[in-house]
Chains A and B, each alone.
Chain A
Amino acid sequence: MVAQLSVVGTRAPRVDGVQKVTGAARYAADILLPGMLYGKIKRSPHPHARVLRVDGSRARALSGVKAVLTIDDVPRVLHAGAPAPRILNHIKDQYIFDTKVRFVGDGLAAVAAASEEIAEQALDLIAVEYELLPAVFDAEEAMQPGAPLVHETDRNLVVPPIVIQIGDIEQGFAEADYIVEEVYTTGRPAPTYMEPNACVAQFDNAGNLIVWASTQGPFMVRGILAEVLGIPVSKVRVICEHMGGGFGAKQDIYQHEFICALLAQRTGRPVKMEYTREECFLAGKTRHPVKVTLKQGFTRDGRLTARQMRYVANGGAYCSHSPGITEVGCWDATSLFRCENFDIRGYAVYTNNPVAGAFRGYGAVQSLFALNCQMDGIARTLGIDPVDFMLQNVVGEGDLVSAGHRLHANALEACLRRGAEEIGWYERHLRPRQDPSGIVKRGWGVGVEMHSSGASPFIKEQSNAILKMNEDGTVHLLTGVADLGTGALTVMAQIAAETLGIPYASVRVTAGDTDVTPFDIGAYASRTTFVGGGAVAKAAADLRTQLLALAAEKLGASADALEVRDGVVFVSRDPGRALPVRDVVKGEGGVPGRSLMSRATGEPDVAHSFAAHFAEVDVDTETGQVKVIRVVAVHEVGKAINPMGVEGQIEGGLQQGIGHTLTEDLIVDPKTGRTLNANLVDYKMLTSLDMPATKVVILELAPDPGGPFGAKGVAEDPLLAIGPAIANAVADAIGVRIREYPITPEKVLRALRAQQEQL
């Protein structure tokens, strides 16, 4: 490893920053093509119905309408909504249009017209005859015999139950001095990326399809478009120059991506489709509402003897990531706090709700909420400080954690200790616990988490990188990784520059074009720095070897004796014998220099990142309002390739995590299946005025040998510990625990009332 780092570890500005601050960055909806049409989708107003007849004749007759697509006009190919190229457990359960609609917002027809307004008018002219079917919205109800079936599966289960049995659960409970069993439920937060889903499709006259899409997985979109539309992969090109966030949800294929291509094919003209904000809520993806029943046995001295969990995930109308999040949610309950006896069951359930998919924290948000809060409660029962109790129980080096991995590079204890120090945890009791009126109560809480970098073993990892050295010593990096806003491409450039010993500004990154870049499975699972960065580091190391071999000839020294730094190759023991990189590769006397190129694949095993979050909250006992005053977030990331980017991930993750804990919930009317708050005023995410003071601490104590410069993932971690930290702080403040996200004023007041009635 390079002893002295000059690019890795710096707060390098984004490679695409100038485009972003000048408005020059092109997002999918910014593509304007001559003759372009606008496409729109007709969506179901019913949560469950058979589609008996769709009549597009009046829409077709409207002036300006160029095409109408119904079920008869589209290929009928069963496919998966989450077709990650190498995913192991996706279920094919959807068609472009089907004979049934399964949630309010399910698309059943589409139009292309000369303008967006005409397209919208045309939708109203499409006549649909439905046969209404009974619908089911609650996951537990959906599992009962006789419940309406969303698809033809046993008890509405997307996949057979996930069962994890380790040790002897009965023995574990028999050894316990105490047993606690509680139910935790979570809401339905939406990723609410600022850029609505959008795509533009165009066929050239050789039959090649070009799609500009806002996607976390351009190769996934390419593969599934090819498969369903019956076009060879080589004739589909997916481009995503810039995207405005995705947070997991944009790793699915969306209905409009097929439809846009089909409308372009049908009309022979480019077609643009943009979701309205309402469509993003209805037909985007949400987090899974989960009911977690957690039962643990523990001894008087605070040792956990048994952990039993039942995890019921409300998956909505189609599979998407339901099996994946259930599997991760269940396996993550085997980690974090040491225990030897487990009985864990997970159920991914179809209902007639909007589709739940992948969202930062992927199933773990829900199980770690239950686990952390129950640990806090057990600590209080035993009269042990919650931080001390967690320190006593967190998993350590070599312990079995999620999906059979043994933990290496562990830093859970360090995160807890550092966070406690930063927030003054052990001095908290010296501070006032309420305002002078006694109405506003203050509390402190802690949550801890660990999360894997990469999706192995659930998805087989793969990222690739190609490096080309130009004749002036600069480098072109072709990477398949997608940058959904995270700064991934900046990190790739830093890794390449550092490994090669050239300035950051000498690396130019090309990404987001399936015709140009090598394959990548997509940007998700906190994997991009770890896996994609690993591929770049390997390719750059190869290119460096080639460069030094060439320099050795020119400098008359052995390659082993050379170093390269800041774009200059020199003899280690005689730095005066040096040659700028550009002179190593330049041509001479009309003869081109040697062309240096390299490629590499990253397929590492899993690593874990860690965090402890501490929250200080005020609870207004008259209004029920919870206000987060201060957050300390300590994260162990192995190596922060770009600390500014890591901080940005954590700070943004806190906004989302505080949101799902306190305010964010897409509410579906349990009678009609309609969403009641599909807009950015009634769906309440935090504004600049709502954010607490935050202190982010980055630790680099446990670098992972599989990651570039020891780096691990960070994207999802910030969402996992903040919720329990706040929930535990609320319990600390008011003496009553709320086990239901989001912790709204109504729930706080109800809990306070129940507490008073008991007194």
Chain B
Amino acid sequence: MSKHIVHVQVNGEPYELAVEPNRTLLDILRNDIGLTGTKRGCDVGDCGACTVLLTLPGETRGRPVNSCLVLGVEADGAQIRTVEGLAIQTPDGPRLHPLQAKFLEHGAAQCGFCTPGMLMSAVALLEVNPHPTADEVRFAIAGNLCRCTGYVKIVDAVLAASGDESAHPAGGA
């Protein structure tokens, strides 16, 4: 199968990749770029573990997508944010995004396999709705399955982060 050259920016870093047209964005993120934080849970868009934020050319805001349902070639020219792009690297270690900090503080990550996708859905929510209600949080993460937490502490963590202004674009995250 002939390869196509695809240009993407992932977490601000530009990549030029040669990919077969049948390969998914999830596969490319994990296996070509080596960003394995984005998880593969079902390959068919049912579980949400592979959620990333995708900003296509001409779009101004990243929207959460199941990266297993996006072909790599479709992402040509796009900006992509993954869980690895949330924390800011500093000489003292990662400075966590407020959502990450609240997930940690509230025990919202147990096995952690849904966590990257869950975080990206939550980031997308807070960027458009900085102060959601609990029901709005539950709706925003309804496409992200979790088998460990009963979602209780995840909702708590997102609500806690929503009170933190730095979780929103205006706060510079």
Contacts and interface: CB of A to CB of B under 8 A. Distances in A.
Query: Is the A/B pair a real complex?
Result: yes
Interface of A: 11, 13-14, 16-27, 29-30, 32, 117, 191-196, 242-245, 247, 274, 276-277, 484-487, 644-645, 647-648, 651-656, 679-681, 685-689, 691, 694
B46 A679 contact: yes
Nearest to A694: B152
Nearest to B115: A20
B113 A245 contact: yes
A651 B150 CA distance: 5
Q: Lowest 4 A-B CB distances belong to which pairs?
A: A23-B37, A485-B111, A244-B113, A20-B112
Nearest to A12: B107
B86 interface: yes
A274 B40 contact: yes
Given A21-B109, A194-B114, A688-B154, 20 more contacts: A13-B107, A21-B83, A22-B87, A26-B36, A196-B41, A196-B42, A242-B112, A245-B113, A245-B148, A277-B41, A277-B43, A485-B111, A644-B106, A647-B107, A648-B148, A651-B150, A652-B149, A655-B146, A655-B150, A680-B47
- Assign chain B's interface to a size class: 35 or more
A22 B110 contact: no
A273 B100 CA distance: 30
A23 B83 contact: yes
Contacts of B86: 22
B42 A648 contact: no
B147 A22 contact: no
B110 to A, nearest CB: 4
Interface in B17-58: 22, 30-31, 34-44, 46-47, 49
Nearest to B46: A680
24 contacts: A14-B109, A17-B109, A21-B96, A21-B119, A22-B86, A26-B36, A27-B113, A30-B36, A194-B49, A194-B145, A195-B41, A196-B42, A244-B113, A277-B46, A647-B152, A648-B149, A655-B147, A680-B46, A685-B147, A688-B138, A688-B151, A688-B154, A688-B155, A694-B150
A746 to B, nearest CB: 23
Contacts of A654: 150
Interface of B: 22, 30-31, 34-44, 46-47, 49, 82-84, 86-87, 94, 96, 100, 103-107, 109-116, 119, 137-139, 141-155
A20 B115 CA distance: 7
Contacts of B39: 27, 194-195, 244
A530 to B, nearest CB: 19
A213 to B, nearest CB: 15
B167 to A, nearest CB: 13
B110 A277 contact: no
B113 A685 contact: no
Contacts of B154: 688
Contacts of A274: 40
A485 B150 contact: no
A697 to B, nearest CB: 14
Contact of A691 (B119, B144, B151): B151
Specify the main secondary structure of chain B where it touches its partner: loop
Nearest to A25: B112
A23 B41 contact: no
A679 B42 contact: yes
Contact of B36 (A32, A243, A485, A691): A32
B30 to A, nearest CB: 8
A644 to B, nearest CB: 4
Contacts of B44: 277, 679
A261 B144 CA distance: 33
Given A648-B110, A688-B155, A193 B147 contact: yes
Contacts of B155: 688
A8 B143 CA distance: 36
Which among B30, B116, B143, B150 has the highest number of chain A CB atoms within 10 Å?
A: B150
B111 A193 contact: yes
A277 B107 CA distance: 26
B35 to A, nearest CB: 7
B113 to A, nearest CB: 3
A195 B111 contact: yes
Contacts of A19: 112
Which among A17, A487, A685 has the highest number of chain B CB atoms within 10 Å?
A: A17
Contacts of A651: 149-153
B151 to A, nearest CB: 4
B147 A681 contact: no
A689 B139 contact: yes
Given A18-B94, A277-B43, A685 B145 contact: yes
B65 to A, nearest CB: 17
Contacts of A192: 147
Contact of A689 (B105, B138, B153): B138
Given A23-B37, A26-B36, A194 B149 contact: no
A681 to B, nearest CB: 5
Given A13-B105, A14-B107, A277-B46, A21 B150 contact: no
Which among B107, B109, B153, B154 has the highest number of chain A CB atoms within 10 Å?
A: B107
Contacts of A25: 112
Contacts of B22: 117
Contacts of B94: 18, 22
A192 B111 CA distance: 13
Contacts of B149: 648, 651-652, 655
A80 B104 CA distance: 39
